[in-house]
Amino acid sequence: MPSNESAARGTSRTFLWARYPHLAPIPDARAWLAWLRTQQITQATIDAYGRGLDDFLAFSFRHTVCVEEAPAELLRAHITAYVCDLAQRPVQYARHAPEEALTPERLACR
C-alpha cells in the first residue's frame, strides 16, 4: 500500500517502487525521481536513473554507508569505491563509462 506521502505527490501511479528497493524507502530519493517526471525527461531515462541510483544505494547498503548522513570526505571515498566496483563488473553491467554510470548520483546530489 502506498504511503500518504507518495499518494499526496501522485507518485504511486507513476512509479513501481518495487523496481527500486533501496531507493524507495528514502523520501528524498523518491522525491527526486518524482521531480524528474516534471522535467520532460522520458520514462526510459527516468527508469535508468532510478535503477542507477538504486544500484548505488544497494552498494552503499552492502558497505554499511548511509549516504544521507555520510560526511563529504567519506562520501567521496565511497563513490570512488563504487566506480571501482562498476569497472570490475561484467561488460553487460558496465556498458557506459563510469562518468555516465554516475549520472543519477551526480544529479541527485545537486
Whether residue 57 lies inside any domain: the answer is yes
- Residue 9 binned pLDDT confidence (cut-offs 50, 70, 90): very low
Instruction: Quote the Cα angle for 14-96-82, to 5°.
Output: 85
Whether residue 75 lies inside any domain: the answer is yes
pTM, 2 dp = 0.71
Domain span at residue 35?
A: 17-108
- Residue 98 binned pLDDT confidence (cut-offs 50, 70, 90): low
Closest by CA to 103, choosing from 56, 34, 35, 60, is: 56
User: How many domains in the chain?
Assistant: 1
Name the grid cell of 28: 528524498
Name the grid cell of 20: 527500486
- Residue 21 binned pLDDT confidence (cut-offs 50, 70, 90): very high
Whether residue 9 lies inside any domain: the answer is no
